[in-house]
Amino acid sequence: MSKIVDAAYAVAAIRDGSTVASVGVIGWITPDAVLKALGDRFRDTGAPRDLTVYLPVGTGDAQAIKGMDHLAQVGLMKRIVSGSYINPVDPVTGKRPELMRLIRENAIEAYSWPIGASMHWLREVARNSPGYLTRVGLGTYIDPELGGGKFTARATEDLVRRVEIDGETLLYYPTWKIDVAIIRASSADEHGNLSFEDEPLTSANIGLALAAKASGGRVIAQVRRIMPADTRAASAVAIPGMFVDAVVVDAEMMMASETEYEPAYFGGARMPLDRLPRPAMSPDKVIAARAAREVRKRELSIFGFGAAADVPLVMAERGLFDGGAMKDYWFTTEHGSYGGVVMSGWQFSANVNPDAIIDGLYQFDVIDGGLCPFAALAFAQFDAAGVVNVSKFGAANPGAGGFIDIAENAKRLVFTGTFTTNGLSVAFENGRLKILSEGRVKKFAPAVESVTYSVARGVRERGQTALIVTERAVFEYRKEGLTLTEIAPGVDLDRDVLGQMDFAPRVNRAGLREMSRELFSQAEDLRAAS
């Protein structure tokens, strides 16, 4: 019997109170047609109600690919547990995601877990384990002593516990059953055998399918095409059909917002490096260019969302990958694409011209095992105690994503971001930086709003090194505290740096270095100087 059905039929059997799990990485591999059908069903019929929604990663971008925002309806969603959230302003409507509104208005129970935990937890569900144990996240916002990942007042149940085993304190994530997994692949046959031949990532799809089946649940798969049975090599099939209950075909599904289909993201074609986007001259580009100077050849380097993701693009623009030199740089992100060029913006997570793509759960084995020695990550706040925050600030609730796992297990850390935000405007003149208007929000705060990672503990207890790179200054976090080491040409130390911080760093004025003027030149000048 064929398992091929339409999206409305596939979601028709989901019952009130079910746990529904899905995954996408921003727009990548998001089963958007099925998620939309579930949202439409509730809007039209009022059922199913009171779902628990489990998302290892922020699913969809709430723009061209709505993803989790299809389910952001009061009554449909009772609780959400997600490894990250999406909070952009839609350029067409000017609105933020509906899910963010529900969180801000305390309309649902919302929890945020580090992606490493949200991925690895699926393994424990799949093998009927009582729960997931880890050291990662102690002393951060996911620690029950610092909130336990609760993002709304309605979220009162403790989903994470502190336990002691053999004298060591660990975090424990108890498991529960998954009733329905909604996943995405490239193709299926009528028996439901799934392959990912033209997807740039696999993320948690395999883990979700196995966890749902081990729970006695159902698996719904969205694919681009149907292949005749027995026409693919068995090694190409990643999920056997006996674990798939329904297949929904969406021949028009996009790879990501702004990208309908691009084979260079999964190795089906090679993109010439001169076709890569060239980041516009901006504070983020300056930051990326300075951070790029910390990248070493043949050292696995992992990049996070934001200015950090511009680092490989700036390196490409400067010609550092020409003549086959791309193979000397080992780049990845938390989502499992290896080699090639990490992309930024809504293209982040998938690499152009990758050498390999591995499963999302295994990628966090790589990260937690310390196999990514160098990490470039963003920061939203940095405080006097040496704590960095990216998880919850102001009206934004993005969660940590893979930040905690990456930061705890790398050896060399570079945190990237503008010095202030919300209104910052600058100009570049003759290799100098000019502040035209200051951001209204200071990012160097007396205390962060959410503890994402203690850089101080990493430096003092684990021997990490840490730089904080901004468009106007570079700091090093040392055992004695935050130390200013470089300042941009054209910037006044007291007015533009110290005067825009809510605490005082250590400063040796006589030994303060000037940031290279090349960083503040236009792209053509940068390439000529490289």
Active-site residue list = 334
Which residue reads 């007291």 in tokens?
A: 494
Q: At what angle do helices 360-368 and 205-214 cross, to 10 degrees?
A: 110
**Rounded to an integer, what distance in angstroms lies between the CA atom of residue 467 and that of residue 444?**
14
Backbone angles phi, psi at 352, to 5 degrees: -80, 135
Residue 37 burial by Cβ neighbours in a 10 Å radius (0-12, 13-18, 19+): buried
The residue type of 428 is F
**Rounded to an integer, what distance in angstroms lies between the CA atom of residue 253 and that of residue 22?**
16
Identify whether the C-beta of residue 178 lies closer than 8 Å to the C-beta of residue 215.
yes
Residue 63 burial by Cβ neighbours in a 10 Å radius (0-12, 13-18, 19+): buried
Q: What is the dihedral of CA 142, 144, 146, 150, to 10 degrees?
A: 60
Which residue reads 């384990």 in tokens?
A: 129
**Rounded to an integer, what distance in angstroms lies between the CA atom of residue 129 and that of residue 41?**
33
Q: How far is CA 127 from the centre of its chain?
A: 26
CB atoms within 10 A of CB 291: 24
The secondary structure of the chain in percent helix, strand, coil, rounded to multiples of 5, reads: 25, 25, 45
Rounded alpha-carbon distances, angstroms, from residue 452 to 136, 143, 401, 416: 11, 10, 10, 15
**Rounded to an integer, what distance in angstroms lies between the CA atom of residue 285 and that of residue 288?**
5
